[in-house]
Amino acid sequence: MADFNSDFWHWYISILTILSILACVWLLRWMTSGYKKTDEVEDTGHVWDGDLTELNNPLPRWWLGLFYITIVFGGFYLLLYPGLGTFGGILDWTSKGSYEQEVERVEAEIGPLFARYQQTPVLDLVKDKDALKVGERLYASYCTTCHGSDARGARGYPNLRDKSWLWGGDPQSIKTTLTNGRIAAMPAWEGPLGGEAGVDEVAQYVLSLSGRATISELAEKGKAKYDIFCVACHGATGTGNTALGAPNLTDDIWLYGGSLTRISESIAKGRNGQMPAQGEFLGEAKIHLLTAYIYGLSQEN
Ligand code: HEC
Ligand code: HEC
């Protein structure tokens, strides 16, 4: 209300509000006056369907009383709380103050708790059911949009419950992932591999890495290309490299799908998954709890 830059609106709203309330009182009195105490009931003269007559009875007293109570309530409310223009009410209540009080109360309550959690090593937090509950709630607020409510991910969004990690599954690696975010750089290989045929060969070889049926002739040619273009990141045996976020290609767990079409697409066009950095947004204490929660998930099975 302090945003008003002239008194006009203050008076406009106040006078209009008070006049409306007075008008309600007047309306009530006007509608209820003029009834005589008789046993005879007047009718309004409206008759439907032959014999349905509209009677004109006064409102029951309790009902009328309710109307007057709401008016008295309104009067007291406007006296105590903001409502009449810039008049703040004699209780000095503001929504901002009320919000700040709430925040202060919550901080006072959870501040020491978060501080204590932050001092506890992740490996101990994982055994603390209450800490994991807090972690679960944080996960639900900040991570489900991408990794799913069950943390099993979706295409392009890694499953956080399994033991297969792009960037490492030890507490420190997870914490680094959360704090700084991650950007995966898998270049597009269609050009270097000499087009679709080359991609096809390497894709066949990649299939063979996880023990799947392949056309061995193509896979063999693919291996030669793999050894040139792919070893640097995915390793000589295809087990990947967590320093680069290069996935293990031998475990038959696929971030972007494991069909021949999907694998060929990954190779031909490249992939650039991004995990947004959370460090500044969430702060150390929350990251620490989330790390414990995520690490705990992967230890469950
Ligand atoms: C510069 C490092 C680098 C090189 C070289 C590289 N990759 Fe990758 N590759 C990655 C990264 C990082 C990812 C993960 C991309 C992501 O998470 O978005 C990836 C993802 C993939 C995937 C998808 C895996 C999945 O789980 O869906 C396949 C398949 C793949 N690479 C095959 C290859 C092949 C075949 C070559 C050689 C032609 C190759 N990569 C060369 C870094 C590399
Ligand atoms: C905007 C979508 C998005 C949000 C929000 C998000 N992530 Fe991610 N996250 C990703 C993507 C995409 C990757 C995979 C990056 C890559 O391809 O290497 C990832 C990777 C990860 C990894 C690494 C997985 C591995 O195998 O190494 C962890 C751990 C992780 N996220 C945890 C979280 C947590 C905890 C939150 C909530 C604080 C979160 N993420 C929020 C998209 C998201």
Residues 214-243 pLDDT 10s = 899 999 999 999 999 999 999 999 999 999
From the CA of 213, how far away is ligand 1's center (Å)? 20
Does 261 share its domain with 288? no
Nearest ligand to the CA of 171 is 2
Q: What is the CATH number of the domain that holds 232?
A: 1.10.760.10
Q: Which residue CA neighbors atom 32 of ligand 2 most closely?
A: 178
pLDDT of residue 43: 82
Ligand 2 center to 127 CA (angstroms): 23
Q: Specify the residue with its C-alpha closest to ligand 1, atom 43.
A: 186
Q: Which of 271, 272, 275 to mutate to test the pocket of ligand 1 (most atoms within 8 A of CB)?
A: 271
Q: What predicted TM-score, i.e. pTM, was given to this entire model?
A: 0.76
Query: Residue 159: CB within 6 Å of ligand 2?
Result: no
Whether 167 and 292 share a structural domain: yes
State the Cα–Cα distance between residues 67 and 107, nearest whole angstrom. 43
Mean pLDDT of 123-136: 94
Q: Residue 287 and residue 135: Cα distance in Å, rounded?
A: 9
Calculate helix-pair angle for 95-119, 279-299, nearest 10 degrees: 50
pLDDT at residue 4 in the model: 62
pLDDT interval class at 2 (50, 70, 90): low
Report in angstroms the alpha-carbon separations of 216 from 104, 113, 205.
Answer: 67, 59, 8
Same domain for 262 and 288: no
Q: Is the pLDDT of residue 301 over 70?
A: no
Q: Is residue 24 part of a domain?
A: yes
Residue 14 and residue 82 in one domain? yes
Instruction: Taking residues 272-287, report their average pLDDT.
Output: 95
CA atoms within 13 A on the CB side of 109: 6
- CA–CA distances in Å: residue 79 to residues 4, 8, 122: 20, 20, 54
Rounded to an integer, the average pLDDT of 164-182 is: 97
Using the mean position of ligand 1's atoms as its centre, give its distance from the Cα of residue 234 in Å. 7
**Together in a domain, 58 and 179:** no
- Whether residues 177 and 289 share a domain: the answer is yes
Question: With 80 as the cut, is the pLDDT of residue 68 above it?
Answer: yes
Nearest CA to ligand 1 atom 29: 263
Task: For residue 68, give every residue at least 6 positions away whose Cβ sits within 8 Å of its Cβ, in sequence order, or none.
Answer: 28
192-198 long-range contacts (CB < 8 A, ≥24 apart) are 192/229, 193/225, 193/229, 193/267, 193/268, 196/268, 198/225
Average pLDDT over residues 50-77: 90
Q: Is 272 in the pocket of ligand 2 (CB under 6 A)?
A: no
Predicted local confidence at residue 38, as pLDDT: 67
Q: For the chain, what is the mean pLDDT?
A: 92
Ligand 1 pocket, residue 9 CB under 6 Å:
no
Same domain, 173 and 281: yes
Is residue 248 within 6 Å of ligand 2 at its C-beta? Answer: no
Please state which of the ranges 170-179, 196-205, 210-219 shows the lowest mean pLDDT: 210-219
With 80 as the cut, is the pLDDT of residue 40 above it?
A: no
Question: Domain for residue 191, yes or no?
Answer: no
Query: From atom 14 of ligand 1, which residue's Cα is the shortest distance away?
Result: 246
Residues 132, 181: Cα–Cα separation, whole Å: 22
Q: Out of 93, 108, 126, pick the residue that ends a domain.
A: 93
Are 112 and 245 within one domain? no
Residue nearest to atom 17 of ligand 2 (CA): 273
Counted domains in the chain: 3
Burial class (CB in 10 A: 0-12, 13-18, 19+), 249: buried
Q: How confident is the model at residue 54 (pLDDT cuts 50, 70, 90)?
A: confident
Residue 190 lies in a domain: no
Q: How does pLDDT run across 82-110, given as a tens digit for each residue?
A: 999 888 899 999 999 999 999 999 889 88
Residues in the chain, how many? 301
pLDDT of 50 higher than 80:
yes
- Residue 138 structural domain: 100-183+276-299
